[in-house]
Amino acid sequence: MKFTVLGSGAGLPSKDRNTQSFVIDCVLEYNEYILIDAGEALQHRILHTHIKPSKIKNIFITHLHGDHIFGLPGFLSSRAFQGGEGIPLKIYGPKGLREWIETTFRISESALNYPLDVVEVEPYMDIRLNNFDVHAIPLSHGIESYAYIFKEDNQIGELQTDKLRELGIRPGPVYGEIKASETFTHDGQIYETPDFIGETIEGRKITVHGDTRLNTEKEYLDSIRNSDLLVHEATFLNNEREKAHDYFHSEINHVLDVFEDVNYKQLLIVHISSRYTDEDIKEVSASLEGRAVIAYDYFELPIPRNVK
């Protein structure tokens, strides 16, 4: 599983940073991509990757500002001609998203050749998505905005084949049968399968924020605690904490301070203002000392399993 950044910039795109779009690549695990936000020119960004639009089956929109949704109509239309025919697509997002999509397609007289379902999200809504539980947390942005917490299901531990060999059970299809059972019999003796299974593999936790002011409430911090990947905006990079707050955004040093005790494994900083030069960003990156990474377009970050 990996996290791909198709657009890392804030509201005004630059030559180097497109507006915000992300992909959780879980094709190897679950044969799909999960798209989060749809910045302008999304369909063009995808052309520079190996992402197949037909394998995007779920989209999560954090909020309805244009830099997060203006790429959606073009992508939906292109998907219809890029292997998506007949493959259902579901879109989750704030109230008003369904009306905006329906109006756009009605006025442009566009049609899709696959089922489209738009689900309007409510605060603290829980969503079951294949092998993930998704939790929507409301944010502070002056417009309805959400963070989405994707918690992967736990997996049964590895079969301890060395113990089976000690019993004289040789490798073969029987190993799969044993792992799927509660008990098994060998040489007339009954064994408990859990005694031959390693520790449970904890599912990965990925938290992706929309635009927002920093939230310092304990309940919120507890909900994102222990994220394998924490994605948060920092539109401001130069200690303009008050200005960031006034504009319903966040500043990078404040983000680091607030998340200091959240126990994340990886922190990815996104939604970077176009006013910052490459030199500005290099300087800030050098000061992070491994606490976070500032994203750039087409950045890919592996999200390994929690194997002990």
Q: Would you call 25 helix, strand, or coil by DSSP?
A: strand
Is 135 annotated as ligand-binding? no
Is 141 annotated as ligand-binding? yes
Contact at 8 Å (CB) between 92 and 58? yes
Is 211 annotated as ligand-binding? yes
In the structure, how many helices (H) and strands (E) does the chain have?
A: 11, 16
Is 68 annotated as ligand-binding? yes
Is 232 annotated as ligand-binding? no
124 in the Ramachandran plot: left (φ > 0), alpha (ψ -120 to 50) or beta?
A: left
Is 271 annotated as ligand-binding? yes
Q: Which helix (H) or strand (E) holds 270?
A: strand 266-270
Rounded to a whole number of angstroms, the CA Rg of the chain reads 22
> Measured between alpha carbons, how far is residue 114 from residues 9, 80, 84, 104, 138 in Å?
31, 7, 7, 17, 30
Q: Which of 16, 25, 37, 67 is catalytic?
A: 67
Contact at 8 Å (CB) between 173 and 162? no
Q: Which of 16, 15, 11 is nearest to 294 (CA)?
A: 16
- The residue type at 232: H
Residue 67 falls in the annotated catalytic set: yes
- Residues noted as catalytic: 67
Binding residues for Zn(2+): 63, 65, 67-68, 141, 211, 271
Binding residues: 63, 65, 67-68, 141, 211, 271
